[in-house]
Amino acid sequence: MPTLELAVSRSALLFSSSISVVIIGLMLFMAERLYRSNKRRAYRNLLISLGFILIHHLLQLTWSVGWLPSFPALDFTSTMLQILSFIVMNFAIFELYYKRRPRTRIWFYGLLALSLLLGALELMSEMPLGAEAGLAQNNQPYAALLLNSYLLLLAPLFALMFGPHIGQPRKYGAGLVAVFLAQVCLLVNPHLTPESHAFSIAAELLVVVYYILLFMLLFERVVELLMSAWRSSITDGLTNLYNRRYFMNQLTRALGSGKPVTVLFCDIDNFKRLNDTHGHHRADGVLKQVSSLLIEETAGIGLAGRYGGEELVAFLTCPREIALQTAETIRARTAKESIVTVSIGVSTRHPDASLPAEQLLKQADQAMYHSKSTGKNRVTDYADLVQEDGTQSL
């Protein structure tokens, strides 16, 4: 029976190590791509920690298949790699959300130094050293007790330090719970019958659960970072409106859809005077307020962008009457809810016309200047200007 249980234990270690190596390999790939695109310290630390833990599991894997015998020095090295990687990993996860502060840096180096100190005490002691996975030899019932106890305490420590600050607290907390329970199993197992490996098998499975949760956390964070980088490349940092290049591309695409498209060209009245009298900070606040209002009114029926300076633009894929009503709502709300007014020009291209995006925007710009020159704080339709000139409306 002991031989059978040892065989089952080795099989569990082989399974968990194989799965862990695959998951860690995927995370290494993600971390390497992140570090290549952005040389952030968090990505570098993530690479280092994943490299350490990969070596740790490769050692476990070679022992489980019999390619390498388990002996104290190897077990000690494996356990130290696991602890060091666990520390670096958790600080790297924190740095994916926040920059490292001086206090955090003290904790980081302090925990690493304590790990090395405990490792040195372990080496100097007469206590036999066993494998991290809990598959200790029968004559080594208290294998790596000191280091495993330290790893047990690290899980709740990181839960208190980083748990409230991580963007995915449930996954992060569940992963730390899995690590904590795995270490409990490793510490409890030697106190049972020496032949029993049930708790060590449970520890191996909990380690796999931890890596799965960690992979999910990192994957979702990478997606968030990529989406944030993409968003920042197409939007204006101050107003959160789409930038001019993206707006024009989307306008061209909308014109090719066969739907009626109306362009609004908005200019904040007396904005330079506001800058001079109230300062740039107040003017920027007003600009953001008007931009937010523009986003609200065009949501669901169009797209808003910043053309340049205090000039804001939008296009609407809706009937002309609704577009004119929306423009009037934007003008009225701006006058009522802010300390400024806006002059707006409107130009519509019907589905059967072939007017390009630049020309449609130019017409709306001309209509906006007409609003400026005839009193400001009003909406002018380019079609009305054409009719006044006796030209057929487009």
Among the candidates 209, 233, 257, a domain finishes at 233
The answer on 280 and 355 residing in a single domain is yes
Among the candidates 170, 205, 233, a domain finishes at 233
For residue 341, give its domain range: 244-388
Identify which of 339, 375, 367 has the alpha carbon closest to the alpha carbon of residue 265: 367
Domain CATH code at residue 50: 1.20.1070
Query: Could you tell me if residue 238 is inside a domain?
Result: no
The answer on 175 and 257 residing in a single domain is no
Instruction: Please give the full DSSP string across 251-289, using - where no structure is assigned.
Output: HHHHHTTTS-EEEEEEEETTHHHHHHHH-HHHHHHHHHH
pLDDT the model gives residue 22: 85
Identify which of 82, 84, 210 has the alpha carbon closest to the alpha carbon of residue 134: 82
- Residues 199, 183: Cα–Cα separation, whole Å: 10
The answer on 251 and 210 residing in a single domain is no
- Residues 317, 312: Cα–Cα separation, whole Å: 17
Burial of 207 (0-12, 13-18, 19+ CB in 10 A): buried
pLDDT the model gives residue 376: 92
The answer on 139 and 197 residing in a single domain is yes
Give average pLDDT by consecutive 10-residue segment, the chain, 394 residues: 50 72 85 79 85 82 66 72 89 86 89 89 59 39 66 92 88 93 80 60 85 89 83 89 94 88 94 88 93 94 92 93 94 94 92 80 94 93 77 43
Q: How far is CA 14 from CA 298, 372, 385, in A?
A: 58, 76, 79
Query: Could you tell me if residue 107 is inside a domain?
Result: yes
Instruction: Please give the full DSSP string across 184-228, using - where no structure is assigned.
Output: HHHHHGGGS-TT--HHHHHHHHHHHHHHHHHHHHHHHHHHHHHHH
| Pairing mode of beta strands 302-308, 342-349 | unpaired
Count, residues in the chain: 394
Contact 88, 94 (CB under 8 A): no
pTM: predicted TM-score of the whole model, two decimal places: 0.68
Query: Could you tell me if residue 117 is inside a domain?
Result: yes
Amino acid at 257: S
pLDDT the model gives residue 2: 45
The answer on 183 and 298 residing in a single domain is no
pLDDT the model gives residue 69: 61
pLDDT the model gives residue 134: 40
pLDDT the model gives residue 13: 63
pLDDT the model gives residue 125: 66
- Residues 218, 206: Cα–Cα separation, whole Å: 18
Contact 231, 42 (CB under 8 A): no
The answer on 369 and 266 residing in a single domain is yes
The answer on 201 and 252 residing in a single domain is no
Identify which of 284, 366, 297, 282 has the alpha carbon closest to the alpha carbon of residue 331: 297
